Amino acid sequence: MKINRLEMKPASRADFGPIAEGEKNTRFADLIIDGRSLYQILKTYDMVPSLGWMSQDCQREMIDYFLLRKPHETMWYRYPVMVCYWCGDEGCGYISIKVDKENNIITWKNFFLEPDMKKIDIGPFYFEWNIYRSVINSTFGVVGIQ
């Protein structure tokens, strides 16, 4: 098993190319896996990472999910890693992942486009717990409330 390197960088949709008039240039905490932007990897789905933006309560809830402090109310230990760039609401569709922790390794696997449960062929990714926890915690308030 190869341990992946995880970093976080503040970003916006416009950082990756022009956005259409009337679309929202959402800013977010982009997760960088082995030097590759998660947003860029999944850009074709027209969603943004679920961390680093929205209300403070939503940001804290997302961090709690990804640090496995609480299960998602409808998906158990699957979490919305990418959400609607306009509102972040899961009702607009999202990309979910299964998050597991064994010993000091966090695994992200089984990426699905929801609500269709269409498998996306990336991952799994393995992160060392202390680095992962630090990176996920660092996303809080990274771009403020939008």
Q: What is the pLDDT of residues 1-35, one digit of tens each?
A: 899 999 999 999 999 999 988 889 999 999 999 99
Q: What percent of the chain has pLDDT over 90?
A: 86
Q: At 36, is the pLDDT very low, low, confident or very high (cuts 50, 70, 90)? A: very high
Q: What is the pLDDT of residues 43-61, one digit of tens each?
A: 999 999 999 999 999 999 9
Would you say residue 66 has pLDDT above 90? yes
Would you say residue 146 has pLDDT above 70? no
So what's the pLDDT on residue 13?
A: 94
Would you say residue 75 has pLDDT above 90? no
So what's the pLDDT on residue 77?
A: 81
If one compares 143 and 10, the residue with the highest pLDDT of the two is 10
| CA separation, residue 130 to residues 8, 106, 127, 134, 137 (Å) | 14, 10, 9, 6, 11
pLDDT, the chain, mean: 94
So what's the pLDDT on residue 97?
A: 98
- Which pTM was predicted? 0.93
